[in-house]
Amino acid sequence: MPMKTEARSYWLDAMLKISLPVLKNLANDSLKECLPNTNPKCHKNALLEAFARTAYGISPWLELEDITGEERMLQESCRKLFHKALANATDPEARDYMIFGGGEDEKQPLVDAAFLCNALVRAPKSLVRNMEEKTKEQLIQCLMISRKIEPLNNNWVLFSAMVETGLYLLGGDYDEERIRKYVRQMLSWYKGDGLYGDGEAFHFDYYNSFVIQPMLLDIMNCFKNMEQEMQPVVWQRSKRYAAILERMISPEGAYPIVGRSICYRFGAFQTLSQMALYHRLPEELSPAQVRCAMTAVIKRIMEGPAIFDENGWLRAGVCGCQPDLAERYINTGSLYLCTAVFLVLGLHPEEPFWTDEDEPWTSKKIYSGQNMTADKAIKI
């Protein structure tokens, strides 16, 4: 386990090892040429998936101000790579121009247009304000294509709401009533104890962390007048879900492999990372114990056998290359949703999350014999 003085460096190295192949190739207009085609049926969407999901996870770090030294230089380099990458992704003349919609039965671009928009929500200064006007116009045109896609009646409603939010941030034509409608729909699917259904049905998987809770919070945070009376309740639910996620991390840094899209790996802990980023961790969790718990997970997975191919691209699996864990819609680009665990790198290196002394996390305390207060559900 890296010590507290090394933990941030370990996280940063892991994030860059995953993200740089995507950013560098797209900035060089060579992503289409180099991204491995592991699923020909949906490879046409893989470019947007890889880029948008990478941006989704690294954007709080790109937004961070007042860092110094080597990390500052790395950040500046990645900001430049992002803007070059975005210019190519949205330029019809570029080789890496991406599909944002247009097919009769093609809905997937809505998903990743939303992840890209969520990155903008998380980094309005470094990504939106510093965007070149030409790129901004190109991106607005691309998002106008995606917004025509009707969402499925499940977590996808937040993808439509997030695309509208992205258009709002970019100064484009957006529909606030559509955002409000889909936020209310998601809120109506709450099932209790910090968990939402994926539509009317409840699925035991990590979509509350991959999509539902983070996007719902980021949209409502962007429009603070929206469902104002519900905002404290939504924060309370996310805090409770963060507490549940922390308790799911074993003393060895493992966690339950359950539900679909498990190949998004430690992206399953996005909500826990987000609560730490926003200083909204549950009262019973210290920043240091959350850092240590998530570091154990990242270390356990990053040290899995052959999770990268010979060129540094992610391979499907959880702890290693395990392609049979991948659903039919998983391609190489899909896997980059794992970067969502790195949201908390948006906290300054001098924050207590990074500087406090190491602490054991909940399961480590319990399985070492420590006496603890019983866990309790929150009221509906």
Question: Would you state the structure tokens that stand for residue 296, as one six-digit string?
Answer: 């154990």
Residue 252: the pLDDT is 97
H helical segments located in the chain: 4-27, 31-34, 46-63, 69-90, 108-122, 133-146, 157-170, 176-188, 207, 213-222, 231-247, 270-277, 287-302, 352-355, 362-367
Tens digits of residue pLDDT in 85-97: 999 999 999 999 9
Can you give the pTM of this predicted structure? 0.97
Question: Would you state the structure tokens that stand for residue 171, as one six-digit string?
Answer: 């100064």
335 in Cβ contact with 264 (< 8 Å): yes
The more confident residue out of 227 and 207 is 207
Over residues 248-267, the mean pLDDT reads: 98
Domains with residue ranges and CATH for the chain: 4-367 (1.50.10)
Tally of CB atoms within 10 A around 72: 13
Residue 162: the pLDDT is 98
Tens digits of residue pLDDT in 144-203: 999 999 999 999 999 999 999 999 999 999 999 999 999 999 999 999 999 999 999 999
Half-sphere exposure of 325 (CA within 13 A, CB side): 17
Mean confidence (pLDDT) of the chain: 96
Residue 5: the pLDDT is 63
Strand partners, 196: 190
Residue 372: the pLDDT is 94
Tens digits of residue pLDDT in 97-140: 999 997 766 899 999 999 999 999 999 999 999 999 999 999 99
Longest dimension (CA), the chain: 63
Strand partners, 195: 192
82 in Cβ contact with 51 (< 8 Å): no
- Of 233, 231, 182, 237, the closest CA to residue 209 belongs to 237
Residue 379: the pLDDT is 80
Over residues 248-266, the mean pLDDT reads: 98
Residue 380: the pLDDT is 64
Tens digits of residue pLDDT in 315-366: 999 999 999 999 999 999 999 999 999 999 999 999 999 999 999 999 999 9
Tens digits of residue pLDDT in 275-317: 999 999 999 999 999 999 999 999 999 999 999 999 999 999 9
